[in-house]
Amino acid sequence: MDYAETSSNGDIQWCFSQVKGTLEDDVTDADIISCVEFNHDGDLLATGDKGGRVVIFQRDPISKNSIPRRGEYNVYSTFQSHEPEFDYLKSLEIEEKINKIRWLRRKNQAHFLLSTNDKTIKLWKVSERDKRVEGYNTKEENGAIRDPACITALRVPTIKPMELMVEASPRRIFANAHTYHINSISVNSDQETYLSADDLRINLWHLEITDQSFNIVDIKPTNMEELTEVITAAEFHPVECNVLVYSSSKGTIRLCDMRSAALCDHHSKLFEEPEDPTNKSFFSEIISSISDVKLSNSGRYMISRDYLSVKVWDLQMETKPIECYPVHEYLRSKLCSLYENDCIFDKFECCWSGNDCAIMTGSYNNFFRVFDRNTKRDLTLEAARDIAKPKTLLKPRKVCTGGKRKKDEISVDCLDFNKKILHTAWHPSENVVAVAATNNLFLFQDKL
């Protein structure tokens, strides 16, 4: 499904597919979704929550093979990935909240994924079992060991069908390598190594080795009073296994090449946009902090999300972004109140469509924004609770900043800042998107 396939007016039309969750007012903190990630073929979709749980959804086979295709997913597996811990040396509680999930490319019948909380990364194997073995010689069917004196004949075990069971088992635990909270993990294109990043350091791991990692970026100053920036996100290049990028709270993105030095403290490229003097204010430094950076699937471009906008960068041009899309420019006049209620520190993520022609990111009031890079059109949609049924066409939403409000518009003063879309994911090959709204996972697809 190509993003260029649009409706008659040039815009793609999105329709509601389904919602996973409970549309209740009483939401416990543990149920709030903290990350969303499709696997490489889009058949599985994983979510992590603040309670340390991972829920994996599987594409419904009927919806996948129907014409036209439908983007419907059912619960495939749920497991507890992380538990709350306590660091006795530092007297700190370590939350169970899942910060990031990353899938590994499938090599056999099983699926593998990495999940991390603030301190510990785990590699999980998710496998199916639909057969069982009966007729053991040395043990009973319940697992009890048989008395050797009772064994009078040799039995040939037989394999019997059983109800499908999905098992999630931890294969590796990577711990004790980060002093600060882990904000990013990224699997390398070689599928053998991955990186993990915290506020001041980036470590390189081998998936088979749990007791050591290599520190490849370290921005910690000798004197912590001289600290001016922190690492906010990091990601490997999708094709070149030696290249990685990381963003900072100063609004810069650094590209590092591991071939040039083992310790990538000296970047190969620095992507930074000069500050516009007309927009300079007390909040300039806070809103310029980059909350997410994602390389395109082709590896030619990357997007960065700051508080008010999402920018597209060409890896061959460091001086300025080639495209800039305002996400909610109408909030610029509200920065003072957003600072007071801490919303200005919200970390919005962003994602690419499968063919790199479109970008998606979240906003407040359960709004999410889609930008078409070809037509330069943008769309504001809402993950609303009052969507009646599947195939309901989403109406574009508009926010008015003052004066007379039109019928279909919502005033900027009426936006609910407690409802925010921080985490989104786009299917790798189809126009199916997943949007996390508090404790609910909404799925939308293009109107066919």
Tell me what pLDDT residue 444 has: 94
Cβ–Cβ < 8 Å for 48, 115: yes
For tokens 């508080």, the residue is 307
Tell me what pLDDT residue 409 has: 87
pLDDT-derived band at 195, boundaries 50, 70, 90: very high
Q: Is 163 left (phi over 0), alpha (psi -120 to 50) or beta?
A: beta
Tell me what pLDDT residue 59 has: 94
Computed over every residue of the chain, the mean pLDDT equals 90
More confident: 4 or 86 = 86
pLDDT in tens, 255-287: 999 999 888 988 999 999 988 777 788 899 999
pLDDT-derived band at 1, boundaries 50, 70, 90: very low
21-35, 86-100, 109-123, 211-225: the lowest-pLDDT one: 21-35
Cβ–Cβ < 8 Å for 333, 401: yes
Tell me what pLDDT residue 24 has: 61
Distance CA 75, CA 366 (A): 23
Tell me what pLDDT residue 22 has: 64
pLDDT in tens, 235-248: 999 999 999 999 99
Mean pLDDT of 350-367: 96
For 279-284, which contacts have Cβ atoms below 8 Å and span 24 or more sequence positions? 279/332, 281/335, 283/335, 283/336, 283/339, 283/344
Local structure of residue 145 (DSSP, 8 states): B
Tell me how far apart the terminal alpha carbons of the chain are, to the nearest angstrom: 10
Tell me what pLDDT residue 367 has: 96
pLDDT-derived band at 180, boundaries 50, 70, 90: very high
Local structure of residue 1 (DSSP, 8 states): -
Cβ–Cβ < 8 Å for 54, 44: no
Amino acid at 404: K
For tokens 């909610």, the residue is 328
Tell me what pLDDT residue 440 has: 93
Q: What's the predicted TM-score (pTM) here?
A: 0.88
Tell me what pLDDT residue 6 has: 38
Tell me what pLDDT residue 11 has: 66
Contacts of residue 414, defined as CB under 8 A and 6 or more positions apart, other chains included, come to none
Please list the residues that pair with 378 across neighbouring strands: 371
CA distances from 298 to 246, 314, 357, 403, 420 (A): 18, 12, 11, 44, 30
Cβ–Cβ < 8 Å for 243, 236: yes
pLDDT-derived band at 215, boundaries 50, 70, 90: very high
Residue from 392, 394, 330, 336 nearest 364 by CA: 330
| Model confidence at 411: pLDDT above 70 | yes
Q: Is 299 left (phi over 0), alpha (psi -120 to 50) or beta?
A: left
pLDDT-derived band at 439, boundaries 50, 70, 90: very high
Tell me what pLDDT residue 9 has: 43
CA distances from 98 to 47, 48, 363 (A): 9, 5, 21
Measured over the CA atoms of residue 223, residue 228, residue 232 and residue 235, the dihedral's sign is negative
Distance CA 122, CA 81 (A): 8
Quick one: what percent of the chain has pLDDT higher than 90? 71
Tell me what pLDDT residue 5 has: 36
pLDDT in tens, 294-323: 999 999 999 999 999 999 999 999 999 999
Cis amide linkage into residue 161, ω under 30° from 0: no
209-213, 218-222, 276-280, 391-395: the lowest-pLDDT one: 276-280
pLDDT-derived band at 292, boundaries 50, 70, 90: very high
| Model confidence at 448: pLDDT above 70 | no
pLDDT in tens, 216-239: 999 999 999 999 999 999 999 999
The number of beta carbons lying within 10 Å of the beta carbon of residue 206 is: 15
Mean pLDDT of 130-147: 80
Tell me what pLDDT residue 256 has: 96
Give burial (CB, 10 Å; 0-12/13-18/19+) of 256. Answer: buried
Tell me what pLDDT residue 17 has: 85
| Beta strand 409-411 pairing with 398-400 | parallel
Amino acid at 154: L
Residue from 139, 133, 137, 131 nearest 158 by CA: 133
Cβ–Cβ < 8 Å for 121, 185: yes
pLDDT in tens, 55-87: 999 999 888 888 777 889 999 999 999 999 988
Amino acid at 75: V
Cβ–Cβ < 8 Å for 313, 321: yes
Tell me what pLDDT residue 237 has: 97
